[in-house]
Amino acid sequence: MFNLNGRNALVTGSSQGIGLALARGLAKAGATIVLNGRDIGKLEATAESLRSDGATVHLLPFDVTDHATAGTAVDSFETEVGPVDILVNNAGMQHRGPLENFDVEAFQKLLQTNISSVFNVGQAVANHMIPRGRGKIINIASVQSRLARTGIAPYTATKGAVANLTKGMATDWARYGLQCNAIAPGYFETPLNAALVADAEFTAWLKQRTPAGRWGKVEELAGACVYLASDEASFVNGHVLYVDGGLTVSL
């Protein structure tokens, strides 16, 4: 069960944090990893780290916010290397600030990075998966796909859109043999959350608010990703899997 041998997994934004943890988990299940990001130096260092653990790794650096660039990169990989069997749309960013004076340029950047990237890469990969009649697309949503918190309204909007775009992908593409699902992490110790992790008051609030009573560890997301990427999830489509220590089910 959950064997991913012989499958290529493209993970966007995979040089650190959640993306790297998911890439590592997929590699341990047997997948060949295709790392993506814009910083070549970071990607090369990440590739060496994964290879030292026995993983087979390819690099596919491109800007996920550029539709044409994403399509060209995916097409080239499919032609020169092999099929993208698994796509994990992980690339994302955060920008915090009061909604009433939130910077409009920061808002547009959030839209491009968190939503447009899912459309851009998802469409490029699906156009190869559909003729093959199989494929796995896993989008990284958030507890903010369901909940809101002060100071991050635009981010919340983008993650709500990721969850609904996932449902739309499933609705359109399940008939072609694709499974399109999302993982919605709770609060995890990542570079994106470094400021919050360092905030003693916020950490105390989080521990009280989350039934598990702690921050999540990025390694705890890998099992969900491997499951959704495997044949064991062959009839799971349009699902948003919350991995959040119980945060979204409690008051």
Residues carrying an active site annotation? 155
Whole-number Cα distances in Å, 174 to 66, 140, 233: 26, 19, 12
Q: Are 184 and 162 in contact (CB under 8 A)?
A: no
Residues 65 and 189: their CA atoms lie apart, in Å, by 25
> Which residue, chain included where needed, has tokens 């002060």?
150
Angle at 219 between CA 214 and CA 221, to 5 degrees: 85
> Which residue, chain included where needed, has tokens 């044949």?
231
User: Where in the chain does DSSP place strands (E)?
Assistant: 8-11, 32-35, 57-59, 86-89, 135-140, 178-185, 240-243
